[in-house]
Amino acid sequence: MSKGVAVTGMGIISSIGNNIEENYQSLISKKQGISKIKKIQTIHKDVIKVGEINYTNKELITLLELPKTNNYSRTALLGEFAAKEAVKNANITNINKYKTGLISATSVGGMDKTEKYYYSQFEETKNRKYIASHDAGDASKKIAKSLGITDFVSTISTACSSSANAIMLGARMIKAGKIDRVIVGGSDCLSKFTINGFKTLMILSETDCKPFDENRTGLNLGEAAAFLVLESDEVVKKENKKVLAYVSGYANANDAYHQTASSENGEGATLAMQKALRVAKIKPTEIDYVNAHGTATPNNDHSESRAILNVFGAKVPDFSSTKAYTGHTLAAAAAIEAVYSILAIQHKVLFPNLNFETPIADTALVPKTEVTKKEIQHVLSNSFGFGGNCSTLIFSKT
Amino acid sequence: MENLKQELKAKIIENLNLEDFKVEDIDDNDSLFGDGLGLDSIDALELIVMLDKDYGIKISDPKKGKTIFESIQTMAQFIMDNKTK
Amino acid sequence: MAQCYINGIGSVSTQDTSNYKAFLKNHQELKENIVHVHKPNYRDYIKPASIRRMANGVKNGVVASAIALKEAAIETPEAIITGTGMGCTIDSGKFLKNIVDNNEQYLTPTAFIQSTHNTVGGQIALGLQCKAYNVTYVHNATSFETALIDALLMINDNQTTILVGGVDEIGDYSVSLHQLVGLVKEQDTMSNGILQSNSKGTIYGEGAQFFALENKKKDTAYAELVDVSIHDSIQDNEVQTRLLTFLKNHELKATDLDLVILGNNGDEEYDKHYNKLQNSIFKDTQQIYYKHLSGEYHTASSFGLWMAAQICKTQKIPEFLKLNTKKVTAIKHLLLYNQYRGENHSFTLLRSC
């Protein structure tokens, strides 16, 4: 197998837990984090179901020990919280001992503040500090500064596949010897912008979402942030690092079909999975678990099912979507699912696809619906987004 | 009904930014999707909001749009039968 | 290391950059504080069915990419890599305004769909039916440079044809916010051009520049893209050391550079970063700038690269770009240095070919 990009630390915050351990416990106890909107000030409060994170902004500011004058968006707060856990988890004490970068991903950036102070910042000066935190790059800059990373810092936004591409760029840079260590992941908070945006597409489910079910009616949105620490073989060796898993395969392809919808036969997704398998130099039969994109929209799950059949034929591996736990966390989705994929390898366990009852008629795929113990060598994780972006990552055991 | 049809044509051109079309270019029975005006699923969502906003008709299943928005004729008929404002 | 050649370029900018001759003849120093692009005939490049939903930035990106690919005679690239600092700010502003003004009711999807940062890359792929690698970088003033870094990684990983570009558009709402906090110059300080304005802030421009990069040199080649490096939040005194290390990696010293292309934008608070190098390690090197023509935007450095590529090919430095006058016999090594408000420092090294 191809080695060379080690995952040595992880951090996560989602609606099912504020750290790795809490997320893991929720996953194995089938505890989902979807409920009616409680915190966001919107007309859809108490109506639309989402995966909200328990901590308020105020609590996060206290936990991160930020000054009162800070201009953090919720995306930056969540991102910094998860990134710090990842760095701690990787036992890094001197970040600049090796050439270290940060690649984050977001779709909404600081939209939560911009929509809140849309008109009022023209009248009152006190909220103008958030003007600078609107840009997608702002959260990455803040996270990098808090970690002491000063040089290679970047941000990716490819809608719902964003953080898969952040992980992929990080892995490619390490493989190419451009960098020794890189913190990769993504963060997206919930905002009126995205909730209403997905509502206009009429793909929000009124109930708990049902990935891969014939009677699925759409997705639940969620908010989350997750980061991985990737290190080169050299750093792992020098520091005698514990390796959680390897990033062994990655690929990105474009469906080139429609601005938002996936093609009927899942061509982009098929290409992404096939390319990732080639990069990992493994056969489809060697994949032990697929963490599917599985948003529970009629379009995605059908198209992804087709793509899975295209790649795996009659031998479809165990698969599930964890979106029913967390909701679809947009740019953070691939990063939180990377964490779940690695937890599956570490704990030798498959996480169930909640709320599933009836297979989709013409593809008939049945996901895993129970917590299942199993030795796992390779996990394949899919993430697709608007603009035809399809990305696949493969994580392998050490 | 005739007024409504003219109104719909003008609104469709305006809301969907069909710069190359004029009201008189659209026949009542032209198909709006596919070969006719070339509208797609995103336009269907735009039209669903228009029905709600301008005629007080709520459609919760986007798939229903297919039959309602077949042509100006079917759309006008549907609005006449269901409008609340 | 594989070689990476710029074989085709396309630009939609605040100047007439449809071709270089027209640009040299018609160029005009910008005297307004907010400047929109010189519009091409979009319909020559984009189908009516697609164009009706596209905001300016998307159209500009699609046009610039089409020109670059055509020049390099590439039908479908093996990767489409886009940099955009603000993304599709017109449509995101439109959707946001509707949310606020209509209290979250009667919202329609088009502006939301078109508002995602990767719309330009997605629409280029859709138009070309290109199913290859497609990524969008959105890190402020190094968005375009990260796209170049990714492209270089691709070329070194045996890919042969990469389409890479930078695009940003002016959105009324975001500009109004930036004016509120003094990022945009007041109009009345502009009469003598940006470097003589003696004021804070800069002039806002927009544009799209795309480049066809390949591992083989074609007849159309402009220059070789050697390397790119980004430094997000380094201290003032670290800029020079980072730059010298970057050059040293290519066995170059500052004095080996034949031309430096600087991102001076007339902001008296931050142009000191350029001035410091201009007066020290670059003092005997020919220096030019370009933002008095392009305006400032997060991916304005892609206009700088467009300019640099033209200079490489013609081996002539237009007078109206010069910041000093030095004798330059042959232009072999060119360096672009850009930063925005003391952050997002980037170095891009080109070699004539």
A224-281 confidence digits (pLDDT tens): 999 999 999 999 999 999 999 999 999 999 999 988 889 999 999 999 999 999 999 9
Residues 92-121 of A with CB under 8 A from B: none
Each residue's pLDDT, cut to its tens digit, for chain C (353 residues) gives 799 999 999 999 999 999 999 999 999 999 999 999 999 999 999 988 889 999 999 999 999 999 999 999 999 999 999 999 999 999 999 999 999 999 999 999 999 999 999 999 999 999 999 999 999 999 999 999 999 999 999 999 999 999 999 999 999 999 999 999 999 999 888 888 899 989 999 999 999 999 999 999 999 999 999 999 999 999 999 999 999 999 999 999 999 999 999 999 999 999 999 999 999 999 999 999 999 999 999 999 999 999 999 999 999 999 999 999 999 999 999 999 999 999 999 999 999 99
CA distance C305 to C311: 10
Chain B: give the shortest CA distance to residue C80, in Å.
Answer: 25
Q: Is the dihedral of CA C5, C11, C13, C18 positive or negative?
A: positive
Cβ distance A122 to C85 less than 8 Å, yes or no, reads: no
Specify the pTM. Answer: 0.97
| Paired tokens of A359 | 């297979």
Q: What's residue A3's pLDDT? A: 52
Q: Which domains does chain C have, with CATH numbers?
A: 5-214 (3.40.47.10), 227-351 (3.40.47.10)
Q: What's residue A144's pLDDT? A: 98
Strand, coil or helix: what is C26? helix
Residue A63: Cβ-neighbour burial (10 angstroms; 0-12, 13-18, 19+): middle
Considering only CB atoms, C109 lies closest to which of B18, B19, B46, namely B46
Query: Which residues of A are marked as active site?
Result: 160, 293, 328
CA distances from A86 to A9, A80, A108, A335, C171 (A): 5, 10, 22, 12, 37
Q: How is chain A split into domains, by residue range?
A: 5-239, 247-396
| Paired tokens of A337 | 């699912």
**Residue A260 Rama label (left phi>0; alpha psi -120 to 50; beta):** alpha
Q: Choose, out of C43, C47, C52, C101, the residue to mutate when testing the contact with B (most B CBs < 10 Å).
A: C52
| A203 and C CB contact within 8 Å | no
Chain B: give the shortest CA distance to residue C145, in Å.
Answer: 34
CA distance B44 to B49: 9
Give the CATH number, domain containing residue B52: 1.10.1200.10
- Segments forming the whole domain that contains residue B65: 2-82
| B48 and A CB contact within 8 Å | yes
Cβ distance C86 to A43 less than 8 Å, yes or no, reads: no
A371, amino acid identity: V
| A215 and B CB contact within 8 Å | no
| C219 and B CB contact within 8 Å | no
State the residue for tokens 């696949």: A392
**Residue C57 Rama label (left phi>0; alpha psi -120 to 50; beta):** alpha
pLDDT at A78 over 90: yes
Helices B41-55 & B2-15 angle (0-180, nearest 10): 130
Residues 37-96 of A with CB under 8 A from C: 42-44
The residue ranges of DSSP E strands in chain A, in sequence order, are 5-13, 35-36, 49-51, 100-105, 153-156, 181-188, 221-222, 224-232, 245-254, 289-291, 318-320, 349-350, 372-373, 378-384, 389-396
| Architecture of the domain made up of A247-396 | 3-Layer(aba) Sandwich (3.40)
- Contacts C52 to B, Cβ<8 Å: 16-19
Chain C: give the shortest CA distance to residue A155, in Å.
Answer: 5
- Residue in B closest to A260 by C-alpha: B42
- Contacts B53 to C, Cβ<8 Å: 106
- Contacts C48 to B, Cβ<8 Å: 19-20
pLDDT band of residue B63 (cuts 50, 70, 90) is confident
Q: What secondary structure does DSSP assign to C249-307, as a single string?
A: TTT--GGG-SEEEE---SBTTTTHHHHHHHTTTTTTSEEEE-HHHH-B-TTTHHHHHHH
- Contacts A200 to C, Cβ<8 Å: 107-109, 112
In CATH terms, A5-239 corresponds, of 3.40.50.1000, 3.40.47.10, 3.40.50.300, 3.20.10.10, to 3.40.47.10
Q: How many domains does chain B have?
A: 1
| A182 and C CB contact within 8 Å | no
